Amino acid sequence: MTPDQGCLRFSQKLGTLIALAIVCAAPLSACVRRPAEPRWAKFGGDPSQGAILVGRFSCGACHQIVGVQGADGKVGPPLSTFADRTMIAGVLPNTPENLVRWLRHPQTVVPGNAMPDVGLSDVQARDIAAYLYRDR
């Protein structure tokens, strides 16, 4: 069947309609809830390195963390979508600086809690914080 003038006009109309639909729908992506920029971008920290450190320091032995193999501990709270939490350990407002402080010295923030001071360096704590704050 050879395309005649009528068929071409229809496919052109259809193409235009689809293009218009895409152009009109594109701004709707701004309606998706998402922070303006990742929190870790403000204070530095490598989330991929943080993922490795979360494995090395055995965080999953006590916490549930989505994306970390075997991380299904129930000693502490689940850490998934950590960026959405208002408080850290019920005492610190959830900011990058407070998270780094908590990760490095939990025994100082809440003396006698089960989470030990494992000797994280500042860089290590930032990397882990960046991983916990990753967009999910």
Partner 1 sequence: MTWLVGVACSFAAMGAGALVVVEGGLFNATASTPHLRVVAIAAHTAFIRSVEVRARNIEAPTQFTGAEVTAGFRDYDASCVACHGAPGVSNAAWAHAMTPPPPYLEDAARRWRPRELYWIVGQGAKMTAMPAWAEVRSDGEVWNLVAFLEALPYLGEADYARMRAAARTASTPSPEPRAAIGKSGPPPASSP
**Interface positions with partner 1 (CB under 8 A):** 52, 55-58, 60-62, 69-70, 72-75, 107, 112-119
For partner 1, the closer of residues 29 and 69 by Cβ is 69
Nearest distance in Å: CB 135, partner 1: 20
Other beta carbons within 10 Å of 105: 13
Phi, psi for 92 (deg, rounded to 5): -115, 130
Nearest distance in Å: CB 18, partner 1: 38
Nearest distance in Å: CB 127, partner 1: 13
Region for 58 from its dihedrals, namely left if φ exceeds 0, alpha if ψ lies in -120 to 50, beta otherwise: left
Task: Give the three-class secondary structure for 83.
Answer: helix
Contact 88, 98 (CB under 8 A): yes
For partner 1, the closer of residues 83 and 118 by Cβ is 118
For partner 1, the closer of residues 86 and 121 by Cβ is 121
